[in-house]
Amino acid sequence: MNISIIIPVYNKAEYLESCLKSLLTQAFSDFEIVCVDDGSTDASGDICDRMASDDSRIRVLHTDNGGVTAARRRGWEACLGRYVMFVDADDGLLPGALQMMYDTIEREGADEVIATFRTHDGIQSPVVYEGFVEPEPLIRDIITSKNRFPVLWSIIFRREVLDGVLDTPREIIEGEDKLMQVKLLLKQPKVYFISKPAYIYTLGLPNSRSHTLGHEMLYDKLLELSIGNRSQEFNVALTLHKLKEYERFIFDGNDSVRDAYYLSAIGKPSSVIPLYDRVVFMLPPVLARPVIKMYRKIIAIKQKGL
């Protein structure tokens, strides 16, 4: 088996059939689809079972609800492919994606190949990198949320490089894919970028995720544990990550986080931190909030597409 496509499934009945059809119509032949029904309470599990009964390339694993990372890990443990791709149940693959990704990773001898993507309404993601890229700048991009490239989907992985990285606790309901990729990149894999899109990403779906200080403190702890003895090397990136999350809290009106966590977690930002972020952190929240709002408006005006 050459490629295993792992789909964590939780209450995505509305999108699931379209997702699976985008995989089953791929011209590439040697692949399997592992659907992990993560305790869905809608018809998702039934749709997986029905489509699996019609096509032997689909296998379905039904589990108690354990969260998206646990579902991906369960799929990885059960899969048979030399290479692995992850697809979310409300997304899909573009025609020819599997052949392109397989040919590239075979030709280049990479540990992971990262393609671009296209949104469901046709917007093409930017080309940020091409060819082989060292892990360190990618880690910094991901930690500071400056990555404009996929970190989990639209990627084909050599199966063994995923060992030990799919262990984020279920309490982390946002950014779990970034933690996974940071852990992987710290292994110093060979990473290759291609400019062509492989993935269809569905924008704008509602979610019930809440941005709480408890979640963010846990995320910071796990991120720092992952970095380990290289924390000094990535200190600026870690500080920027905390500053950006602080700004997000202040923008949302959660001023109490300043005294509760961020004054001690960040301290006095060094001069290498961008001036805007230093100014926002030095200001009282009531004064920082309009600055953040204005900055976001300017960024939104400047950005075109993604």
Q: Classify residue 58: in a domain, yes or no.
A: yes
- Stated pTM of the model: 0.93
The rounded percent of the chain whose pLDDT value lies above 90 is 89
Q: Please check whether residues 42 and 161 belong to one and the same domain.
A: yes
Domain end point (choices 201, 231, 246): 201
What is the total count of domains within the chain? 2
Q: Classify residue 49: in a domain, yes or no.
A: yes
**pLDDT per position as a tens digit, 25-57:** 999 999 999 999 999 999 999 999 999 999 999
- Predicted local distance difference test score (pLDDT) of residue 210: 76
pLDDT at 153 > cutoff 90: yes
Domain end point (choices 181, 201, 221): 201
Residue 86: what are its φ and ψ, rounded to 5°? -110, 135
Q: Is beta strand 191-201 parallel, antiparallel or unpaired with respect to 112-119? A: parallel
Tell me which H or E stretch contains 97. helix 97-108
Q: How many CA atoms lie less than 13 Å away from 249 in the CB half-sphere?
A: 24
Q: What is the DSSP letter of 161?
A: G
Q: Please check whether residues 164 and 228 belong to one and the same domain.
A: no
Q: Classify residue 145: in a domain, yes or no.
A: yes
**pLDDT grade for 79, boundaries at 50, 70 and 90:** very high
**Helices 135-143 and 235-251 sit at what angle, rounded to 10 degrees?**
20
Q: Please check whether residues 159 and 225 belong to one and the same domain.
A: no
Encoded amino acid at 37, one letter: D
What are the DSSP calls for 185-229, one per residue? HTT---EEEEEEEEEEE-----------HHHHHHHHHHHHHHHGG
**pLDDT grade for 203, boundaries at 50, 70 and 90:** confident
CB 102 within 8 A of CB 47: no
For 202, other C-beta atoms within 10 Å of its C-beta total 16
Give the closest residue to 35 by CA, choosing from 81, 104, 88, 111.
88
* Residues sharing a CB contact under 8 Å with residue 4, sequence separation 6 or more, in sequence order: 31, 32, 33, 34, 75, 79, 80, 81, 83, 84, 85, 159
Range 212-227 average pLDDT: 95
**Measured between alpha carbons, how far is 78 from 150 in angstroms, rounded to an integer?**
24
- Predicted local distance difference test score (pLDDT) of residue 223: 96
Q: Please check whether residues 289 and 235 belong to one and the same domain.
A: yes
Q: Please check whether residues 147 and 293 belong to one and the same domain.
A: no
Q: What is the DSSP letter of 160?
A: G
Q: Please check whether residues 248 and 174 belong to one and the same domain.
A: no
Domain end point (choices 179, 201, 223): 201
Q: Please check whether residues 135 and 235 belong to one and the same domain.
A: no
Q: Please check whether residues 187 and 226 belong to one and the same domain.
A: no
- Predicted local distance difference test score (pLDDT) of residue 209: 67
* Residues sharing a CB contact under 8 Å with residue 246, sequence separation 6 or more, in sequence order: 257, 258, 262, 266, 281
Q: Please check whether residues 116 and 265 belong to one and the same domain.
A: no
The rounded percent of the chain whose pLDDT value lies above 70 is 97
CATH number at residue 19: 3.90.550.10
Q: Classify residue 206: in a domain, yes or no.
A: no
pLDDT at 304 > cutoff 80: no
pLDDT at 306 > cutoff 60: no
Which residues is 131 bridged to in the sheet? Answer: 193
Q: Classify residue 175: in a domain, yes or no.
A: yes
Q: Please check whether residues 259 and 128 belong to one and the same domain.
A: no
Q: Which range of residues forms the domain containing residue 191?
A: 3-201
Mean pLDDT in the chain? 95
Q: Classify residue 207: in a domain, yes or no.
A: no
pLDDT at 206 > cutoff 70: no
**pLDDT grade for 23, boundaries at 50, 70 and 90:** very high
For 95, other C-beta atoms within 10 Å of its C-beta total 11
**pLDDT grade for 207, boundaries at 50, 70 and 90:** low
Q: Cα torsion for 276, 279, 284, 286, to the nearest 10°?
A: -30
Q: Classify residue 275: in a domain, yes or no.
A: yes
Q: Please check whether residues 189 and 239 belong to one and the same domain.
A: no
Q: Classify residue 208: in a domain, yes or no.
A: no
Which residues is 34 bridged to in the sheet? Answer: 6, 59
For 233, other C-beta atoms within 10 Å of its C-beta total 13
- Predicted local distance difference test score (pLDDT) of residue 55: 96
Q: What is the DSSP letter of 154?
A: S
* Residues sharing a CB contact under 8 Å with residue 10, sequence separation 6 or more, in sequence order: 37, 38, 39, 40, 44, 65, 68, 71, 89
Q: Please check whether residues 18 and 64 belong to one and the same domain.
A: yes
